[in-house]
Amino acid sequence: MAASTLTEVARLAGVSPATASRVLNGSARIPGKDIADRVRQAAESLGYIPNAQAQGLAKSSSGLIGLIVHDIADPYFAAIARGVQDAAREQHKMVLLATTEGGPDSEKEAVAAFAARRADSIVIAGSRTSRTEDLEGNTELAAELDRYCRNGGHVGVIGHGIVGAATADGYHVVSVPNEELAAQLATELAASREEDFVIVGGPEGLFTSDDRIRGFQRGLASAGLPAADVIRTDFTRAGGFEAGLALAARITASQPGTATKRLCIFAVNDVMAIGAAAALRSQGLRIPRDAAVAGFDDIETLRDFRPALSTVHLPLEEIGRQAASSAAGPSADDAGSPPITGQIILRRSTEAAHPSSAESVA
């Protein structure tokens, strides 16, 4: 769909192009309220982006890529950002960064800011959500992105498509096989194990977390094991720590003089696993003696974590690179990008318990 023009806005509002321009481009000589409201309503209904912004998105290149992440301090997003930066360098472009803490309201504001700066494309990294409290934010985010794409922009989304998007034009999704990989992890962990399984997941309705929980449960079922208990908490290290405290109490709740009940804990991302492990350590428990712990993502921080954490390796930098490349425009060869794959990596944290040699968590 071609970008709407100022002339079309003026015609719909019943005013001259000059009057419409004064309303939409911030002139000090703004007409009366009734006329101004009519012009703004016409612009909104046509999805018009003022002046050079629409021209820049539809006809030229600003040399900018917008990147939206939940938290750049999270190693997961930092690795994806490196991949986006690599792709931007290949395209001779610069990256603009916005962090949103995961709220669609903040993501919508970031999209509007990038559109105003004529970004050629926008990459969105971070789980989509179907939570009730995010319904209005999802609607507004989808509308803002639809407007951006109608005016020539391109969007690369990691994981799941935008909730509520009215059109697929301009959207490019880099799919991550979260559910399949979580099922494989469960199958490998279930081999020759007798302890109970527990999943530490994010809030219900968070797509990435829900995919991984669903996959892990499926893997346990295929191994003939009962479903794991699920603890819902924040999708952060702090959320993992909170869950870890509850699990520490569960492990040590056995009767005096009896052995503690060992658990196998799957946290749906590595930072939650790190938080859970830290909480266990704070209560005097050891890994893998008292609990086995596994995560998901294989973030760079794990190189310094002891005992070494079992996890699912994702090529995070490649995911970021593909998202930025696929959103480069209609000339991008999306079909040439290989599908994202992962690898199960079992390390010290999920080994069978050996009390005499168990390490404490570093």
Where is average pLDDT lowest: 35-49, 208-222, 228-242?
Answer: 35-49
The structure's pTM equals 0.79
Q: Above 90 in pLDDT, residue 157?
A: yes
Q: Above 70 in pLDDT, residue 333?
A: no
Confidence (pLDDT) at 361: 41
pLDDT digits (tens, 9 = 90+) for 106-140: 999 999 999 988 899 999 998 899 998 999 999 99
- Which residues 6+ apart lie within 8 Å of 86 measured at CB? 317, 320, 321
Q: Above 80 in pLDDT, residue 356?
A: no
Round the average pLDDT of the chain to a whole number and report it.
Answer: 87
Q: Above 80 in pLDDT, residue 336?
A: no
Q: What percentage of the chain carries pLDDT values higher than 90?
A: 60
Residue type, 296: F
Ramachandran angles phi, psi of 157, nearest 5°? -115, 135
The span from the CA of 203 to the CA of 231, in Å, is: 9
CB 154 within 8 A of CB 172: yes
Confidence (pLDDT) at 55: 41
3-state helix, strand, coil in the chain (%, to 5): 45, 15, 40
- Which residues 6+ apart lie within 8 Å of 157 measured at CB? 123, 124, 171, 172, 173, 174, 323
Q: Above 60 in pLDDT, residue 70?
A: yes
CB 247 within 8 A of CB 276: yes
Kindly tell me the sign of the dihedral angle through the C-alpha atoms of 3, 9, 12, 17.
Answer: negative
Confidence (pLDDT) at 354: 58
DSSP 338: P
Residue scoring higher pLDDT (180 or 261): 180
